[in-house]
Amino acid sequence: MNLIFLGPPGAGKGTQAKRLIARFGLPQLSTGDILRKAVADGTALGKKAKALMDAGKLVPDEIVNGIVDEALASPLAQKGFLLDGFPRTVPQAEALDQMLGRRGRKIDHVISIEVPTEVLVDRLAGRQTCPQCQTSYGKDSPPANPGHCDRDGEKLIVRPDDQPERVRQRMHEYETKTALLTGYYKARGVVREIDGVGSVDEVEKRIVGAFA
Ligand code: AMP
């Protein structure tokens, strides 16, 4: 099964993807996680992407398309995948169609997580992230040991792009470029709209229910 998670920043795409990988036995391919790791490791890719990411702007298509093409070729992704944070523009969606078409594959479902802007702004303002495994914590899903990741004990950080003015830029990128993707996939009848307001458990139940 090949899945895409769509939704604005703070909708819970990464959190829900991390929950569902075990349930569906699929790898999570997150361009944001891959880029943040490249920045932390100081690779050539990370150096190219860092300033744009910190400013809340999109990284050029040729960079992210290359990351996804490589991830799709990995043995882990052969049974299926769960894409989170990609595609983010219609040209990226078209590039993805080509990458999958070359491999005789297609997108089966697009899960669109719907959350009103005021809830998103509130969530992102309180979000802390593990720099190691990228798990996010917030008011509704705090870590057991404050300031530390439940999974690996790492000290949590506030992502540079979760600062209020960067959040505004990311919302702008979403509204002007990414929101158009829902229409792109709706035309194929593969979109499942999920109410993303509520606890992580509640939203997970709704997503799983959509596949029952
Ligand atoms: P995310 O973790 O998905 O919120 O992504 C964090 C940042 O990584 C974004 O604000 C962009 O700067 C960059 N990024 C992640 N995925 C993409 C993408 N598909 N296209 C362009 N930039 C991306």
Q: What is the CATH number of the domain that holds 84?
A: 3.40.50.300
> Probe ligand 1: pick from 13, 15, 31, 33, max atoms within 8 Å of CB?
31
Catalytic residue among 13, 23, 105, 123: 13
- Residue-number span of the structural domain to which 22 is assigned: 2-26+80-115+172-210
What percent of the chain shows pLDDT beyond 70? Answer: 100
Judge whether 100 lies within some domain: yes
Which atom of ligand 1 sits closest to the CA of residue 9?
A: 4
How far from 132 is each of 54, 70, 99, 103, 153, CA to CA, in Å?
Answer: 18, 22, 29, 32, 9
Note if 127 is an active site residue. yes
Q: Are 114 and 7 in contact (CB under 8 A)?
A: yes
Tell me, yes or no, whether 68 lies in a domain: no
Atom of ligand 1 lying closest to residue 87 CA = 19
Task: Give the number of domains in the chain.
Answer: 1
Residues 88-115 have pLDDT tens digits of: 999 999 999 999 999 999 999 999 999 9
pLDDT confidence bin for 212, thresholds 50/70/90? low
Is residue 208 scored above 70 in pLDDT? yes
Q: Is the pLDDT of residue 176 over 70?
A: yes
Query: In angstroms, what is the span from residue 123 Cα to ligand 1's centroid?
Result: 18
**Is 159 among the catalytic positions?**
yes
Q: 7 Cβ partners below 8 Å, 6+ apart?
A: 13, 112, 113, 114, 115, 196
Q: Is residue 199 part of a domain?
A: yes
Spot the catalytic one: 19, 36, 127, 166.
127
Does the active-site annotation cover 205? no
Chain mean position to CA 58: 13
Name which residue sits closest to atom 2 of ligand 1, judged by CA.
Answer: 32
Convert the pLDDT of each residue in 8-62 to its tens digit: 999 999 999 989 988 889 999 999 999 999 999 999 999 999 999 999 999 999 9
Q: From residue 154, how far is each of 79, 138, 146, 173 by CA, in Å?
A: 31, 16, 11, 30
Residue 81, CA distances (Å) to 3, 66, 127, 134, 144 in order: 6, 16, 26, 18, 30
Q: Does a structural domain hold residue 192?
A: yes
* Ligand 1 centroid to residue 145 C-alpha, Å: 29
Residue 50 known to be catalytic: no
Q: Is residue 195 part of a domain?
A: yes
Paired strand residues for 5? 84, 111
- Cβ proximity of 194 and 114 under 8 Å: yes
d(CA 198, ligand 1 centre) in Å: 24
